[in-house]
Amino acid sequence: MTRLVGIFKSKNIIMKSFSFTADELQTGRRLDAVLTEKYGDFSRSQWSKQLKLGLVKIDGKLAKSSDKIKFEAKIGGEFPLLETNSLIAPASQPEIIFEDSNVIVINKPAGLVAHPTAKLSQPSVAGAFLDKIVDSDLLRPGIVHRLDKDTSGVMILARNEATKDFLQAQFKDRKVKKIYTALVLGHLDRETARIELPLERSKKNPEKMMVSSSGKMAVSEYKLVAEYPGYSLIEVELLTGRTHQIRAHFAHIGNPIAGDRLYGKQILPAGLDRQFLHASLLSLEVAKDKKMTFKAPLAKDLKVFLGGL
């Protein structure tokens, strides 16, 4: 639910309401930490300000940042998002792989975010297709799932809310096949393997995810495609969909994604301007009993980098 209020220097700000019931993993933790993890587009300091303004409640009572959450506590409130004109179209529209009356499937270029955040208005996938989508979510119209800004490849959008619910249910129920192509540093011990490591947001750096026994289980399966001097090209299938799952998993086992400055080396390899990660395949039902598979060839900049190894 959203509403508009004339505050913050008389600008129109979208206020979005939220509510959820605390689960076992959230029990006993500080409220501000849980809110930051659950709604990552809003920083911990921003959540603290909202709590001080009395805009968050636990079981109907005003809450504080330091409150420890009890199991099945009802948490709710509202927070400001962006101005109503925050959705900006990029200079050029992403390539459309498939389109019908319910979905748009694109080959997202690197450098383009899926949607703007509470902290920054910028060109986005959501802004690129505003005229083709009917969705009451003013910040993320049509957005079913996300790819990181510097990850390229297949991404699906819903053109209406019924389809959005239908597609998101498949992602939630793990019925979507997602395969990525990645180049990692070093050589792997096995040509194929399954990685099962729980992930949670880092307390030291909220921008990163980390392997932790208190996190949510994340499962990735990979197979080796080719080896290069100092690198391994792999295909990774995500069996869960945690934030930064591939990046965090492979950094943890000592083989970070090439060009990943958040999880790997700070200096980019010569000839690579971003992380070498590409969503190459997405398979799901675009409508009831209508399953389709979409592929996107490896992005040109990644092909060029491989060719120089």
**Separation of alpha carbons 216 and 251, rounded Å:** 17
| Catalytic residue, candidates 67, 148, 150, 260 | 148
**Separation of alpha carbons 124 and 126, rounded Å:** 5
Q: Is residue 290 part of a domain?
A: no
Under a CB-based contact definition with an 8 Å cutoff, are residues 106 and 151 in contact? no
The predicted structure's pLDDT at residue 13: 53
Same domain, 237 and 224: yes
Calculate the CA dihedral of residues 192, 202, 217, 171 and round it to 10 degrees. Answer: -90
Q: Of 83, 102, 121, at which residue does a domain stop?
A: 83
Cβ-in-10-Å burial (0-12, 13-18, 19+) of 93 comes to exposed
Residue 96: which CATH number? Answer: 3.30.2350.10
Same domain, 8 and 42: yes
**Separation of alpha carbons 304 and 309, rounded Å:** 9
Low-confidence stretches of the chain (pLDDT < 70) are 1-15, 41, 80-86, 117-120, 138
The predicted structure's pLDDT at residue 6: 29
The predicted structure's pLDDT at residue 170: 96
Q: Is residue 260 part of a domain?
A: yes
Which positions ≥6 away from 117 have C-beta within 8 Å? 41, 82
Q: Of 144, 173, 202, at which residue does a domain stop?
A: 173
Q: Locate tokens 């096995």: which residue?
A: 190
> What letters, b where the CB count within 10 A reaches 16 and e where it falls short, cover 108-128?
bbbebbbbbbbeeeebbbbbb
Q: Is residue 236 part of a domain?
A: yes
The predicted structure's pLDDT at residue 118: 57
Same domain, 64 and 90: no
Same domain, 197 and 259: yes
The predicted structure's pLDDT at residue 3: 33
Same domain, 66 and 115: no
**Separation of alpha carbons 309 and 305, rounded Å:** 7
Q: Of 58, 83, 108, at which residue does a domain stop?
A: 83
Same domain, 125 and 147: yes
Same domain, 70 and 99: no
Q: Is residue 225 part of a domain?
A: yes
Query: Is 148 an annotated catalytic residue?
Result: yes
Q: How many domains does the chain have?
A: 3
The predicted structure's pLDDT at residue 298: 97
Same domain, 168 and 142: yes
Whole-number Cα distances in Å, 183 to 78, 125, 213, 248: 41, 25, 27, 14
Same domain, 254 and 210: yes
Q: Is residue 248 part of a domain?
A: yes
What's the pTM?
Answer: 0.76
The predicted structure's pLDDT at residue 8: 32
The predicted structure's pLDDT at residue 14: 58
**Separation of alpha carbons 19 and 187, rounded Å:** 45
Q: Is residue 287 part of a domain?
A: no
Q: Is residue 289 part of a domain?
A: no
Nearest CA-CA partner of 292 in 302, 281, 303, 307: 281
Domain of 233 in residue numbering reads as: 178-279+303-307
The predicted structure's pLDDT at residue 29: 94
Residue 67: which CATH number? Answer: 3.10.290.10
Under a CB-based contact definition with an 8 Å cutoff, are residues 66 and 85 in contact? no
The predicted structure's pLDDT at residue 10: 30
Q: Is residue 291 part of a domain?
A: no
